Amino acid sequence: MSTLGPVISSGAELIATTLKNQGVEVLFGIVGIPVVEVAEACVAAGIRFIGFRNEQSAAYAASIYGYLSGRPGVCLSVGGPGVVHALAGLLNSKINCWPIVLLSGSCDTDQVDTGAFQELDQVEVCRPYCKYAARPASLEQVPFVIEKAFRTALYGRPGAAYVDLPADFIQYPIRNKQVLDSIQASKVPSAPKSMANPSDLNEAVALLKNAKSPLIVVGKGAAYARAEKEILQLVEKTGSPFLPTPMGKGVLPDSHPLCVSAARSKALKEADVVLLIGARLNWILHFGHSPRWNSTVRFIQIDIAPEEIGNNRNDTLPLLGDIQLVVSQLTQSLEKLNNISSGYVTGLVSKVKANAEKIRQSGLKGSDEAVLNYQTAFTTIKNILPEKDIVYVSEGANTMDIGRSFFDVSEPRQRLDAGTGATMGVGMGYAIGAQCYYPTKRVVSIVGDSAFGFSAMELETAIRSQLPLLIIVINNNGIYHGLDDDEYEASRISGTLPTTSLSPETRYDMISEACGGKGWLVKNRVQLGNALKDALAAKDQTCVINVMIAPGGRTKLDFAWMQNEKKAKL
Ligand code: ADP
Ligand code: MG
């Protein structure tokens, strides 16, 4: 008999209690030695565990959960290869500025450098992607290090944090309740917020008041900051047109009369004063340079990260602070902007109408039995999907780019795509993460066949976890474009198969059925419509609709504004 007293807890339970104290509701990951006990303790503590098939998707799920919930998404993995797979999610969170914490098992502390099971210097491996990466020095330090990881991921510009969990800490038998209680860390409070410098604010107000063609750009930082109410007030009070970035869509409804998404190129060219709200002057906004932007444009940038402001344009006027607060400061100091040139807003609005009509027309082409293309498939889908309570996930180069203008979004944080990293393969992780966050909405993933293939096995995860995802694979047999059966066979025999080719008519729908979900293969408008109605009615089931479209892929886009955009990317 030990004189130390009975074992009352374990390191694994201590970790679970710490996560529970941090408000964690869902844990995404894959178990294995030495983290099975951690996952089991978390489940016993009332945390939902979603067990994936590859850590990459688990980390993507945690990444999007961080964006949606405004608290760090949490991923649990084994060491070594598990960590390397999960790095994808850390990078994705870093690049998109979302909070995430990765917790991974590692070898016993007295086995470091001995060639232990799955041994890797994980703290160093994760460090380049993280704001904070640490191995607790002792079991007593674990709650503090986890609290610090949560705080660092969340405060300032959100990002990634890593905590190493040595196997001997996880398994440690705890006998002393007093010590156990005394080391617990309390929940990280919401991030502190600050307002902009008053003199910068005055300068911004003066610039906006004098603007002849102002433009407000609403980015995903504004969506993350939950600043929809404040931004709507600013737009309505000033009368300035606004343009959402791809994931800024929905912060204000796309149907708002001042939304100029469908006249994007014209708006960029004409704007003389641009207010960036949680959006960076990176590739998505053409670095803020001409010819896409007017050469004399002035940028005002609201951001929480001072080092971001001035990136690519060091003449940018900074409004450093939290978007909710800074936008309110601006709204208080501004009235209706009455220097706006006559014709600027009406010109944009009429361009929006004309382009919207072109898009509408493009979706009506062809007979009901005709082979589908992106436009006709999207139009069919859009006309059937309900307007409310849908969360869109979108990836795949053409599927995402062309789809963006077909699906209007009316609420913030309801459209998730490949983001700043243009990361293909996020779709299944995002859909699973989003369905966990929004249990009463239907997550509809509209994805390319190549993008879906990155993590199609996560269908089993969704089905086992009873997540009724609706996945629509826009299948053109390839990356960007593919070949039809005959062309494919001829190229295969002659050894000239393009690197962009995937097998023709792969039955993605049957992967769903094989895992216990539902699946449909559809080839025209009528079949697509029927399958979609059935899938919407199957409210509790994971569904895959495999939509064969013309493999020639990029059917010629007949609206010039989109073509110009593609050309400018060359
Ligand atoms: P998009 O891709 O939509 O252009 P980005 O991810 O490039 O958006 O930019 C988002 C920006 O928002 C980042 O620079 C980030 O620092 C900033 N941001 C995030 N949260 C806040 C906040 N609460 N207040 C101010 N800025 C924020
Ligand atoms: Mg494809």
* Amino acid 543: pLDDT: 98
Point out the ligand nearest to the CA of residue 501.
Answer: 2
Distance CA 370, CA 524 (A): 6
Distance CA 8, CA 26 (A): 25
What residue's CA is closest to ligand 1, atom 22?
A: 322
pLDDT, tens digit (0-9, with 9 covering 90-100), for 105-127: 999 999 999 999 999 999 999 99
Distance 57 CA to ligand 2 centre (A): 20
**Please, are residues 79 and 120 in contact by the beta-carbon 8 Å criterion?**
yes
Distance CA 531, CA 241 (A): 39
Does position 247 have pLDDT exceeding 70, yes or no? yes
Q: Which tokens sit at 224?
A: 């993350």
Distance 466 CA to ligand 2 centre (A): 28
Phi and psi (nearest 5°) for 176? Answer: -110, 105
* Amino acid 59: pLDDT: 99
Pocket test for ligand 1, best of 63, 68, 96, 224 (most atoms within 8 A of CB): 224
| ipTM, 2 dp | 0.99
Distance CA 480, CA 401 (A): 11
What residue's CA is closest to ligand 1, atom 4?
A: 279
* Amino acid 459: pLDDT: 98
* Amino acid 1: pLDDT: 42
Query: pLDDT category, 563, cuts 50, 70, 90?
Result: very low
Point out the ligand nearest to the CA of residue 447.
Answer: 2
DSSP classification of residue 311: S
Question: First-to-last CA distance in the chain?
Answer: 75
pLDDT, tens digit (0-9, with 9 covering 90-100), for 295-316: 999 999 999 999 999 999 999 9
Which atom of ligand 1 lies at the shortest distance from residue 322's CA?
A: 24
Does position 564 have pLDDT exceeding 70, yes or no? no
Distance CA 265, CA 274 (A): 14
* Amino acid 556: pLDDT: 40
**Please, are residues 131 and 152 in contact by the beta-carbon 8 Å criterion?**
yes
What residue's CA is closest to ligand 1, atom 3?
A: 219
Q: Which tokens sit at 370?
A: 């005709």
pLDDT, tens digit (0-9, with 9 covering 90-100), for 333-356: 999 999 999 999 999 999 999 999
Helix, strand, or coil (residue 530): helix
DSSP classification of residue 188: P
Point out the ligand nearest to the CA of residue 193.
Answer: 1
Does position 565 have pLDDT exceeding 80, yes or no? no
Which atom of ligand 1 lies at the shortest distance from residue 218's CA?
A: 3
Q: What is the value of pTM for the model shown?
A: 0.96
Name every protein residue with a CB atom under 6 angstroms from any ligand 1 atom: 96-97, 157, 219-221, 224-225, 245, 247-248, 278-280, 282, 284, 302-305, 308, 322-323, 420
Which atom of ligand 1 lies at the shortest distance from residue 219's CA?
A: 3
Q: What is the dihedral of CA 245, 251, 254, 256, to 10 degrees?
A: -120
Distance CA 133, CA 136 (A): 10
* Amino acid 552: pLDDT: 81
Point out the ligand nearest to the CA of residue 305.
Answer: 1
What residue's CA is closest to ligand 1, atom 7?
A: 280
Which atom of ligand 1 lies at the shortest distance from residue 419's CA?
A: 2
Which atom of ligand 1 lies at the shortest distance from residue 280's CA?
A: 7
Mean pLDDT for the stretch of residues 532-549: 98
Q: What is the β-pairing status of strands 160-166 and 214-218? A: unpaired
* Amino acid 561: pLDDT: 36
pLDDT, tens digit (0-9, with 9 covering 90-100), for 376-428: 999 999 999 999 999 999 999 999 999 999 999 999 999 999 999 999 999 99
HSE-CB for 146 with a 13 A CA cutoff: 30
Phi and psi (nearest 5°) for 198? Answer: -55, -35
* Amino acid 570: pLDDT: 52
